[in-house]
């Protein structure tokens, strides 16, 4: 079994209390790692190391050198690509191709792209008139915000953690990362990479543990942490926001979604089925941007439901490395209990179960894994729990609509506002609808197509702030204005 320790001041260290917890494989429930659970004293040490790196070599380093080092981090991730793929597959149970095509390459890109943005983005300057006619010049300096607390989730652990660590370091901050207790492996591997790439001690620290009364809470309420960036559930965000209010510390939140897919009758049917299949079932539905509400224009409704059913019933369950497997387990039995409780609620609320709704028959060696069937429902009212609440599983409800105005109203009838995907061959309509859907990210005839230079974040209860491109600089740096009287 792997032994995973905390990574503090450039070294792997056991918890000061000696406490450890166990990580089990989602595929077959076998134990795979024993993880050091950071105490409050360990978090104190991590924050002190991050502060001292900020005041030391890292804080004094030229931008050019910092950029070079972050490129070296990206190159080292690429060199150790197979190790990262193996670690992430072990943690999440998700198929090999998901790791190699998307999740691990994005981790490396998160360091390169943000290093280059920091190197190339100018600050602002204003010439100013003054009463004496001599004038003044204002210019802005960007300075790092300080020690950043990074709290990350389990669904795409490496991608989502580096999406924060990359820009935070590029901007000259130091970090204390609390990865999800479900997925600690790649954050630890990244510690090794940081040392190999020449990142000074204390710049990147990892403390493992849980949320309440554990490492998550210790990091977020620590007054030595200057700002907190968090990805996870909206309810957790609310708790973290309270912690951040002590000391008036800044937050950036990327949280839950209940995203709508909007399908017009004039769509390219086959591409739309492929797109909605991915957006509902990729990563076993554990994607914040996933589509759990699908609205289909009435003339193609029956055909659409039938075609998506065929795709859902064609998924291949199995171990991540098995050839042809495109569908993994849920992250844990605890999460499966939650998803199955929604499957039961859907039936209780009168859903027609088009497909799925339960646990698949698995071969005996996988029977203990957190497997669940991809599931499609129709015929529920919009008020039903499974239509309103984020399930974060491989499931969607499909509902017919008749007019553009009606579907916009349906899509917006949610407490969340993360993303939407619109499928139509009518470009004017795509523009019209995109402008009216109240979400942070809209895709037309695609889904999860990401350009890291663009703003990413949610409206309503899906988030606070935007990260991505120069928007990340707005959170990870502070602008200081210098006014020079001529
Ligand atoms: P979660 O909120 O349960 O946990 C996220 C992290 O917060 C974990 O590291 C956890 O240990 C920590 N945490 C929990 N309670 C805490 C507390 N009281 N104080 C400090 N830290 C605490 O979320 P999850 O189950 O890991 O992830 C799934 C959720 O994340 C879904 O809601 C999903 O939509 C959301 N998500 C959003 C985005 C986005 O970009 N908007 C991306 C991925 C996932």
Please report, in angstroms and rounded to a whole number, the separation of the first and last CA atoms in the chain.
67
* Mutation probe of ligand 1 site: the residue of 179, 228, 236 with most atoms within 8 A of C-beta: 236
Residue 352 confidence (pLDDT): 98
Q: Which residue has the tokens 């849920």?
A: 330
Residue 13 contacts residue 36 (beta carbons within 8 Å):
yes
Distance CA 417, CA 440 (A): 6
Instruction: Please give the pLDDT value at position 356.
Output: 98
* Nearest atom, ligand 1, residue 219 CA: 20
Given 181, 182, 267, 288, the catalytic residue: 288
- Per the CB < 8 A criterion, the answer to whether 402 and 374 are in contact is no
Structure confidence by residue, pLDDT tens digits, 243-287: 999 999 999 999 999 999 999 999 999 999 999 999 999 999 999
Chain segment 295-326, per-residue pLDDT in tens: 999 999 999 999 999 999 999 999 999 999 99
Rounded-to-integer distance, Cα 92 and Cα 100, Å: 14
Q: What is the pLDDT of residue 256?
A: 97
Taking alpha carbons only, the member of 393, 394, 341, 329 closest to residue 365 is 329
pLDDT band at 291 (very low <50, low <70, confident <90, very high): very high
Domains of the chain: 2-255+462-485 (3.40.605.10), 259-451 (3.40.309.10)
Q: Tens digits of per-residue pLDDT, 32-72?
A: 999 999 999 999 999 999 999 999 999 999 999 999 999 99
Kindly report the average pLDDT of the chain as a whole number. 98
Q: Return the pLDDT at 189.
A: 98
Kind of pairing between the strands at 477-485 and 136-144:
antiparallel
pLDDT for the residue numbered 458? 98
Q: Which residues lie below 8 Å from residue 204, measured CB to CB, with a gap of 6+?
A: 7, 165, 169, 174, 175, 177, 190, 191, 194
Per-residue pLDDT tens digits for 319-375: 999 999 999 999 999 999 999 999 999 999 999 999 999 999 999 999 999 999 999
Per-residue pLDDT, averaged over 368-393, amounts to: 98
Give how far Cα 31 sits from Cα of 2, 34, 207, 214, Å.
Answer: 9, 8, 20, 22
As a whole number of angstroms, the distance between CA 132 and CA 151 comes to 52
pLDDT (average), residues 7-14: 98
Query: Residue 248: how many CB atoms within 10 A of its CB?
Result: 6
Which one of the listed residues 76, 254, 292, 467 is annotated catalytic?
Answer: 254
pLDDT tens digits, residue range 183-193?
Answer: 999 999 999 99
Q: What is the pLDDT of residues 221-246, one digit of tens each?
A: 999 999 999 999 999 999 999 999 99
Number of neighbours of residue 87 by Cβ within 10 angstroms: 27
pLDDT digits (tens, 9 = 90+) for 84-117: 999 999 999 999 999 999 999 999 999 999 999 9
Contact 66, 204 (CB under 8 A): no
- Identify whether 288 is a catalytic site residue: yes
Compute, in angstroms, the gap from residue 188 CA to the centroid of ligand 1: 19
Question: Measured between alpha carbons, how far is 126 from 319 in angstroms, rounded to an integer?
Answer: 59
Query: Which of 206, 233, 342 has most ligand 1 atoms within 8 Å of CB, for mutation?
Result: 233
CA–CA separation, 210 and 16 (whole Å): 16
**Atom 8 (ligand 1): residue with closest C-alpha?**
180
**What Rg value do the Cα atoms of the chain yield, rounded?**
23
HSE value, Cβ hemisphere, 13 Å, CA-based, for 356: 30
Q: Could you report the per-residue pLDDT of 130-176, keeping only the tens digit for each?
A: 999 999 999 999 999 999 999 999 999 999 999 999 999 999 999 99
Which pLDDT belongs to residue 8? 98
Query: Which two tokens mark 5?
Result: 């320790």
The pLDDT value given to residue 49: 98
Identify the residues whose C-beta falls under 6 Å from ligand 1: 151-155, 160, 178, 180-181, 210-212, 216-217, 220, 231-233, 236, 239-240, 254-257, 288, 390, 392, 418, 458, 462-463
pTM score of the predicted model: 0.97
State yes or no: is 313 an active-site residue: no
Mean pLDDT of 424-434: 98
Rounded CA-CA distance 296/397 in Å is 11
Question: Can you tell me which atom of ligand 1 is nearest the CA of 390?
Answer: 32
**pLDDT band (50, 70, 90) for residue 119:** very high
Average pLDDT over residues 175-185: 98
Which two structure tokens, joined as six digits, stand for 159? 């991608």
CB 426 within 8 Å of CB 265? no
| Paired tokens of 406 | 């009606």
């Amino acid at each position: 079994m792997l032994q995973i320790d905390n990574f503090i001041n450039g070294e792997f260290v056991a918890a000061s209390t000696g406490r450890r917890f166990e990580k089990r494989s989602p595929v077959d429930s076998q134990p795979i790692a024993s993880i050091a659970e950071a105490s409050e004293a360990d978090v104190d040490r991590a924050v002190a190391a991050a502060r001292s790196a900020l005041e030391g070599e890292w804080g004094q380093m030229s931008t050019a050198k910092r950029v070079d080092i972050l490129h070296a981090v990206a190159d080292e991730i690429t060199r150790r690509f197979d190790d990262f793929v193996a670690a992430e597959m072990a943690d999440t149970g998700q198929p090999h191709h998901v790791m190699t095509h998307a999740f691990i390459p994005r981790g490396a890109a998160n360091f390169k792209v943000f290093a280059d943005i920091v190197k190339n983005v100018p600050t602002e300057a204003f010439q100013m008139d003054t009463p004496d006619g001599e004038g003044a010049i204002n210019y802005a300096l960007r300075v790092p915000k300080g020690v950043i607390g990074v709290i990350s989730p389990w669904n795409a652990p490496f991608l989502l953690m580096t999406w924060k660590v990359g820009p935070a370091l590029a901007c000259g901050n130091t970090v204390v990362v609390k990865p999800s207790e479900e997925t600690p492996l790649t954050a630890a591997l990244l510690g090794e990479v940081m040392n190999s790439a020449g990142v000074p001690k204390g710049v990147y620290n990892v403390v493992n543990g849980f949320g309440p009364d554990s490492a998550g809470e210790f990091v977020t309420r620590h007054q030595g942490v200057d700002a907190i960036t968090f990805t996870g559930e909206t309810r957790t965000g609310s708790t973290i926001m309270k912690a951040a209010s002590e000391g008036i510390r800044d937050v950036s939140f990327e949280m839950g979604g209940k995203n709508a897919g909007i399908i017009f009758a004039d769509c390219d049917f086959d591409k739309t089925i492929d797109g909605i299949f991915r957006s509902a079932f990729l990563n076993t539905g554990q994607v914040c941007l996933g589509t759990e509400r699908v609205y289909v224009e009435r003339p193609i409704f029956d055909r659409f439901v039938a075609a998506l059913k065929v795709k859902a019933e064609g998924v291949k369950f199995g171990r991540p490395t098995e050839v042809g497997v495109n569908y993994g387990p849920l992250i844990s039995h605890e999460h499966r209990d939650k998803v199955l409780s929604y499957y039961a609620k859907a039936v209780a609320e009168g859903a027609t179960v088009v497909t799925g709704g339960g646990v698949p028959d698995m071969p005996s060696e996988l029977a203990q894994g957190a497997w669940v069937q991809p599931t499609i429902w129709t015929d529920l009212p919009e008020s039903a729990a499974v239509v309103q609440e984020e399930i974060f599983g491989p499931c969607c409800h499909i509902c017919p609509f008749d007019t553009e105005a009606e579907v916009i109203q349906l899509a917006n009838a949610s407490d969340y506002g993360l993303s939407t995907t619109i499928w139509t061959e009518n470009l004017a309509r795509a523009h019209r609808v995109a402008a009216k859907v109240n979400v942070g990210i809209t895709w037309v005839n695609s889904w999860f197509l990401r350009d890291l230079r663009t703003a990413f974040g949610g409206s309503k209860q899906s988030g606070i702030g935007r990260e991505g491109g120069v928007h990340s600089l707005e959170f990870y740096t502070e602008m200081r204005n210098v006014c020079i009287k001529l």
